[in-house]
Structure 1
């Protein structure tokens, strides 16, 4: 069985499961390979408008690197594997469709780094998280030192990374790492609800908004406004924009086609 399962939940919402619950859904070389194969299909799926990423089982979203496998590697193999995980995480970050990390359990190291590459994070109220690499005498190697600082601020990122602190979803929400904390039984349904809210909007507009936010972030305001204008203009000549205006006139829900 594949270590990554990818399926469409509805016509426009997909779910990607990390499928190694017996190994805390850790990043093995096989899981990395299977994840890339799933992304090949996801990137080419024309009807996909939102993607949920979660883990199978209740104990772990992703515990990071597979340390048992890591023990058998040479230094060169370790470097190659860390680079491979970083490339995978970056690929998730660059998806054109919005992504939601549904953190169903433990998310440590590379697992939390994977969630940081998603656009929205929600978590089970039983989940535990942390960038704990310094406790293993290394540092986050899949973007954690950069993405966490941008998300929660420089001082807080140093606090959590340098102490290798583990924390729960309540604390994660208080520092802005996750947006919602729900019961384990409600997590996937809540992720699907959010994904459905996104997918009901104009897909061209949603993708353009994501790009405008990402590319304008940390730019000066003048540059950011030019980036916003560029992406706004891409939505003007679309059929979906005209459909939205007609639906408003007709007092009905618009039927977007992504055109």
Structure 2
């Protein structure tokens, strides 16, 4: 019959269409095999760990570890025991520490050198500290040199005022010392603060404190049994420095006079 071939052709085309579909769609088993392959990320030829830890990065870590941070602890002699305890603990953390009080070292040159030598300046502030000229002169010099200043309030009920109050307000860190002394928490705060400072090493006009003799700038003013009298003269612009010289001579029991030539007689 004439229609039969047409029907068979249509059926044949349908079979061929199904055959094509069967070849393009994988079986369920094949999908299970292929799916994990698609979800598995392709590993690159490079090593991610190698990319993170480059030689330059490791070199920076080594250089940071090799930098020695010099810490100067300034205090009144009443707080010397606390300062020495703090110095010992910071030394155990690989910081290089020196302690400077109002009395030691007595040499002006040695005192100024210690401030220049320091990378971080720690001040144990108290009422006695504020009232003592040498203590205030030291912290003012550290401020003038733009040293990072850390303030530790040795007396919890004392609030610094005037110039010391202004310096304390601008300190990189201010810590109140607890009654039990240098606690682990205080030490951790100090260590983190010191380590986070940008250290700018400057060897100009700086002598290693270990090599400096405390009395290398002193002149023997005594000749035999006779002690001479010293007159310190200055004008208004040099009063601060002249006062330092005068106080230094007085502390060594020398006969000293002081005169400001800018003042009328």
TM-score by shorter chain over 0.5: no
Query: Which is greater in Rg?
Result: 2
